[in-house]
Chain A
Amino acid sequence: MILVIAEQQGGTLNKATWETIAAAQQAGGPVTVAVLGAETAAAAAEVAAAEVAEVLRVESPALAPYTLDGFVTALAAVIATEQPGDVFLPHTYQTRDFAPALAVKAGRALVTDCVAARQADGRRLFVRPVFQGRLLADVACDGPALATFQIGAVRADTLVRGAAPAPVRTIAAAIDAGAIRQKPEAPFREAKHAVDLSQAERIVAVGRGIKEQEKVALAQQLAAAMGAELGASRPICDAGWLPMDRQIGSSGQTVAPKMYLALGISGAIQHLVGMKGARTIVAINKDPEAPIFEVADYGVVGDLFEIVPAIIKELQG
């Protein structure tokens, strides 16, 4: 049986949970999903829609808010009682915090940031990227292990839904709240600048190719349609078309979003050093020789005033 640890925040399931359940389903065999928290009824009911053998509600007031000690104590007990094969978790900020400690307590190996799990020679191998993604490693473990899965590695829409809701069982987690060493305060939002592009997952950046201040609105529309933040190269900010805190480059912000879409940006080195860490770079520029195409994953040579509206239409259609 594969045990999946769901992640939820105040009753809302983290989307990555579906991906992890899908991964467990694809790995084969019965899947049990554990939901932790002080109040788990809603989240558990949601999870029960998946094709899984069982949903465990692990409840204790000491499990909200999240603390490392609380979660490790509760999950170690669950692992000890339920005796799962492998344990799958999503690779999130939260699991990065507690999973290794859980591995020590449960006496298991932990393989993190996996992009896949596969069978070979009668055992499960976890596939994970190494050396900045230049190589992939197949990892085998001694005995049942814990594995965290990279967000987006498994598609949530490959999840199999159950014909009927899965059975739900509640376990009262025995946690000594006094023994919890971490005392968290309430989470809050904050940005270093008024606009913190370094936190953005997607950025649409606009450069001199936009030609006029009025046309910046087009870039804004694209950003909105993509759920992206708006950034700019230096000349745009120098001209006052966008505020300085949107500037990306060696004097502005350095960003490493999942997606960086450069509109009418040539890719001069001062700008490049600010965004070269982006995972996927898209460049739209009418100059086929623009240096930005050297670092782009996807490039479109053409008139951005025609292409961008077409993209917006495609996204909305």
Chain B
Amino acid sequence: MHPTETWIFRILVLGFAGAFAAQVWTRARLILRAPNNIVVADDETGRRLLRFISEVVFQSRTIAERPAVGFAHLGVYWGFSAFALYTGVEFLAGLGVADVTGSRWFHLYELALVPFAVAVIAGIAGLLVRRAIVRPAALGDHVSGESVLIGFFILTLMVTFLLGFRWETGLAARVNWWVHALVILGFLVLIPDSKHFHLVLSPLTVYLRSPGLATVPNLDFEREQVGLETLADVERKQVLDAFTCVECGRCQVNCPAHGTGKALNPKRLILENEEALLAGRFDAKLADVFDAKVLWQCTTCGACEAQCPVGVEHLPLIIGARRGLASNGEAPDALAAVYNHLERRGNIWGLGADLRQKFIQSAGVEIFDAVRHEYLVWLGCAGAFEADFQKSLRALFDILRATGVTFGVLAKERCTGDIAKRTGNEYQFQELARANLDDFAAAGVTKILTSCPHCLRTLDVDYRAFGFQAQVVHSAVLVADLTRTMAVPGAGPVTFHDPCYLGRYAGVTAEPRELLARFGATVREPDRHGANPFCCGAGGGLLFEEHEEGRRISQERFEQLQRTGAPTIVTSCPFCSIMLKGAQASANTQVEFVDLVSFVDARMKCAAPAATARP
């Protein structure tokens, strides 16, 4: 290269790299000023690395929901990674530092890069067509000019690389080289202030993502933590998330609230956070940054987080902001009534314990005694008061008795505090948790069985923060195990509605299907099922919100299940059951509802009537 070229190049690199660094520094400062909530436990490193390899290296999440797009992106990404060394070597040569471009290994390397270049061209061309011509809803209303520009940049880089084989020397080669180098510099400077910052951040955010879904650690009242009130309170992982977001819209497209015409849009939430941070609105209340109404429309189903390919955690932001509001008395009125019920009666409906007593007596259940009983059956609020769910509990008791499992219930229960935790009333959650844990300890409980996925999540995950160590299992899992040698054919078609808190949160999707199949049902799946179900609309406190914007989430899901054509909907959660039956009642149609455990019990009884009869 001519010395003048070299100097010009050096100045350009300095300028562009400087601009790049300055923008990165702005964001780094925002990330560093945020309170740190990132905790990586020593024993997690292995799992995180495995996840990193799966999601970053092999792009498992981008491919999972959108295979064509995912593979296209994989091509581009691997291409990029493969080209990193190439770019480095060429720049070193251009800067006049060292020139190994003539070496043999470099030529071999360049040849090896050709298939990658082709893959990138194919991938990026496909993605450009999708973005600019197909224009899926997930990508928003208007085409991002910048994304198209970057797309063309990438094409140009690959084309110029390939052309480099054609034009190895002479003016054409120089021009080709400069075009390639300038595009790289241009690209570089566009990275920080766009979704392309994920190139830098996403490996970090994927690695740092909490191991579980909706990880919202307890507030420390000793340190007077009250939740996220202003933008300055937003924690480091959520600030990283704001900058890593690739705006792919997977969260938006899977969100049940967004999908039924509500203002809540998880993608918008993350981008509003980013906008506010870059604008430096640290004193702004989160209720203003996001519009408080939107914060209360979330059912905490977790579809957003579960889909995100770059490790964004939406729920700590939403629930964190809810905490800030709830701590200041700004929870919605419907929830205020529930909090008062929880305070007075220890259950979400404010009903009297005598109703629970009646159920226990009529079901003939014993009070838990650690000496004689293996399992504590946790009834939960629905188990104590909701008559339909109690039928499924009776079925569970019959199955347990028939399979020789010893169990008892607590004389008194209070709510696990699930709704308090998900809606941000952290104080109430901790009060309930501590009191329940005292009761468990006093009763010597080591194994808990529950039929409510919300109780499951709260006991099995949220209570661990207090040092709780008992085993917690959902009835679908235990019953599947207890009946593993049983089969009763000929039950006909059903559809199974995976509860969000069972299928997505707890990953229990195989056992219900196994039970249904073994006991003779053929399962017809709606599009959204398994680990990515469509919410029934009860979570996050929304069981109590009767005035929904747009369509009712329960209505939407009911229709999805109806469209499978199955005459029976099988549920495995009391709240899914309440919501879907409510949707049916309002729709005035005829579909049978049955709880999974009731189904199994009925099949067991029809096969061998004496088998599960009460002694």
Q: Interface on A for B, CB 8 Å cutoff?
A: 208, 234-235, 238-239, 250-251, 267-270, 272-273, 276, 289, 291, 294-295
- Whether, in the assembled complex, B277 has its beta carbon less than 8 Å from a beta carbon of chain A, the answer is no
The answer to whether A251 and B546 touch (CB under 8 A), given A269-B349, A270-B578, A270-B582, is yes
* Interface: B103 (CB within 8 A): no
A222–B569 CA distance with the chains assembled, in angstroms: 36
Given A268-B581, A269-B385, A291-B387, decide whether A239 and B349 contact each other with a Cβ distance below 8 A.
Answer: no
Report how far A96 CA is from B546 CA in the complex, Å.
37
Q: Are B355 and A294 in contact (CB under 8 A)?
A: yes
Using A235-B586, A238-B586, A250-B546 as known contacts, say yes or no to A273 and B349 having CB atoms under 8 A apart: yes
B468 part of interface (Cβ distance < 8 Å): no
Q: How far apart sit A272 and B355, CA to CA, in the bound complex (Å)?
A: 12
Mask: chain B, 345-358; 1 = CB below 8 Å from A; 0 = not: 00001110001001
Other-chain contact of A267, B387, B544, B547, B582 (Cβ < 8 Å): B387
Report how far A267 CA is from B578 CA in the complex, Å.
Answer: 12
B588: CB under 8 A from chain A?
yes
Instruction: Decide if A239 touches B588 in the complex (CB within 8 Å).
Output: yes
> Is residue B388 contacting chain A, with contact meaning CB distance below 8 A?
yes
Other-chain residue from A234, A273, A276, A291 in contact with B582 (beta carbon distance below 8 A): A234
CB atoms of A294 and B585 under 8 A apart: no
The yes or no answer to B369 lying at the interface (CB within 8 A) is no
Enumerate the 6 nearest inter-chain pairs by beta-carbon distance, A residue then B residue, closest first: A291-B387, A251-B546, A235-B585, A238-B586, A269-B386, A273-B349
In the complex with contacts A234-B582, A234-B586, A239-B588, A268-B351 CB distance below 8 A: no
- List 25 contacting pairs A-B, 8 Å CB cutoff, sorted by A: A234-B582, A234-B586, A235-B585, A235-B588, A238-B585, A238-B586, A239-B586, A239-B588, A250-B544, A251-B546, A251-B547, A267-B387, A268-B387, A268-B388, A269-B349, A269-B386, A269-B387, A270-B578, A270-B582, A273-B349, A276-B351, A289-B391, A291-B387, A294-B355, A294-B387
Contacts of B350 in A (CB 8 A): 273
Which residues of chain B have C-beta atoms less than 8 A from A294's C-beta? Answer: 355, 358, 387
* Inter-chain contact total with CB atoms closer than 8 Å: 40
CB neighbours (8 Å) of A268 from chain B are 387-388, 578, 581-582
Residue count of chain B within 8 Å CB distance of chain A:
19
Cβ of A200 to closest chain B Cβ, rounded Å: 22
Residues of A within 8 A of B546 (CB): 250-251
Known: A250-B544, A289-B391. 14 other contacts (CB 8 A): A235-B586, A235-B588, A267-B387, A268-B387, A268-B388, A268-B582, A270-B582, A273-B349, A273-B350, A273-B351, A291-B388, A294-B355, A294-B358, A295-B355
Q: How far is the CA of A270 from the CA of B544 in the complex (A)?
A: 9
Please name the residue on chain A nearest to B544 by beta carbon: A250
What is the CA–CA distance of A13 and B547 in the complex, to the nearest angstrom?
Answer: 46
Picked from A208, A251, A273, A295, the residue with its CB within 8 Å of the CB of B585 is A208
Within 8 A of A (CB), among B368-394: 385-388, 391
Residue of B nearest to A247 (CB): B546
Q: List, in ascending order, chain B residues with CB within 8 A of A289's CB.
A: 391
A238, A269, A273: the one contacting B578 at CB < 8 Å is A269
**Docked CA distance A72–B404 (Å):** 72
Bound-state CA distance A250–B355 (Å) is: 18
Cβ of B351: which chain A residues have Cβ within 8 Å of it?
Answer: 272-273, 276
Set of chain B residues within 8 Å of A235, measured between Cβ atoms:
585-586, 588
Q: Look across to chain B and name the residue whose beta carbon is closest to the beta carbon of A207.
A: B585
A289 to B581, CA, bound (A): 17
Residue of A nearest to B359 (CB): A294
CA distance A5 to B54 in the complex (A): 86
Find chain A residues with CB under 8 A from B388 CB. 268, 291
Hey, which chain A residues are within 8 Å of B355, CB to CB? 294-295
Q: Measured between C-beta atoms, what is the minimum distance from B427 to chain A in Å?
A: 24
Contacts of A291 in B (CB 8 A): 387-388
* Minimum distance in angstroms from B380 CB to a CB of chain A: 13
Residues of B563-603 whose CB lies within 8 A of A: 578, 581-582, 585-586, 588
Contacts of B547 in A (CB 8 A): 251
Nearest chain A residue, comparing its CB with the CB of B362: A294
| Chain B residue at smallest Cβ distance from A291 | B387
Q: How far is the CB of A230 from chain B (nearest CB, A)?
A: 19
> How many angstroms from the CA of A234 to the CA of B547 in the assembled complex?
13
- B586 shortest CB reach to chain A, Å: 4
The residue in chain A whose Cβ has the minimal distance to the Cβ of B547 is A251
* A270–B577 CA distance with the chains assembled, in angstroms: 13
Distance of A196 from chain B, by nearest CB (Å)? 19
CA distance A229 to B608 in the complex (A): 50
**Chain B: which residue is nearest A295 at the CB level?**
B355
For A295, list chain B residues within 8 Å (CB).
Answer: 355
Judge whether A234 and B385 touch: CB under 8 Å. Answer: no
Residues of B within 8 A of A251 (CB): 546-547
Smallest Cβ distance from B432 to chain A, in angstroms?
A: 20
A234 to B552, CA, bound (A): 14
Measured CB to CB, the closest approach of chain B to A287, in angstroms, equals 11
In angstroms, Cα B387 to Cα A84, docked, is 55
Among B533-561, those with CB < 8 Å from A are 544, 546-547
Q: A269-B578, A270-B578 are in contact. Are A234 and B585 (CB under 8 A)?
A: yes
CB distance from A215 to the nearest CB of B (A): 14
Task: For A237, give the chain B residue with the smallest CB separation.
Answer: B586
